[in-house]
Amino acid sequence: MNQANQKDYSRYHLLKRNLLLSVILSSITPMILVSGIILYQFRVSYHEKIDAHLEELVHKHKQNIDSFLKEKLGDIKSLSSSFSFEQMKDEKFLQDRLKLLQQSYGPVFVDLGVINAVGEQVAYAGPFKLGHAQYSDADWFQKASERAHYKSDVFLGLRGLPHFIIAVTGICETEDMKGICKGRKWILRATIDFEAFNNLVEKIRVGETGFAFILNKEGG
């Protein structure tokens, strides 16, 4: 084969290769584009489905938690409005009220406390030795004193265990032994069993490994 024929053969071979590559690329490129679009749409649809599921899950459990808290607040408000400060500061009477609550709702209510206007707990019913505890400097007492009812964040407090409280304020109609209560506010405080509340959160799971948490407005 002379030099001219070799050049023609090389050009023919190059042209053939380029045509083959063009055919292959023109065949594969649309398939790759279509596959990419399908995968992208599937991913978007999948994430939208997951987001919608999570929103529904969170909304449902938010309603359950709100319902739980409203119900327990209603129980303590009913107790506070049904009996006077004079009655509630009797520890035997208070223990009987706690016993009735626990018989009706199980161990949801851990203890009850009656606090006078200056932050002194004048009566206590429950398993801890918190009689005559002083709450005047406690954050929950200061906040509860400013409103009709109050639900705290989870905190350790005097007992050193995580818990949260529901507090309802009332107005004294008679003076206590120190003569400092008539016409002033008093507080009925109830501690909610943290395990009973935590069970509401533990039921919120996402797949096999997902976890859910309840955060306050400050992110804690």
Which amino acid makes up residue 3? Answer: Q
Residue 31: what pLDDT? Answer: 81
Domain boundaries, the chain: 1-50, 59-202
Q: What is the distance between the alpha carbons of residues 177 and 211, in angstroms, rounded to a whole number? A: 51
What is the per-residue pLDDT across 67-92, written as a single tens digit (0 to 9) for each?
A: 888 999 999 999 999 998 889 989 99
Residue 215: what pLDDT? Answer: 67
Surface-to-core class of residue 157, CB atoms within 10 Å of its CB (0-12 exposed, 13-18 middle, 19+ buried)? buried
**Residues present in the chain in total:** 220
C-alpha distances (whole Å) from 209 to each of 85, 157, 174, 204, 205 are 49, 32, 57, 11, 8
CATH superfamily ID and name for 59-202: PAS domain (3.30.450.20)
DSSP summary character for residue 150: E
- pLDDT of residue 213 exceeding 80, the answer is no
Residue 66: what pLDDT? Answer: 87
Residue 205: what pLDDT? Answer: 59
Tell me which residue of 190, 151, 185 sits closest to 169, measured CA to CA.
Answer: 185
C-alpha distances (whole Å) from 170 to each of 101, 109, 155, 213 are 19, 20, 24, 34
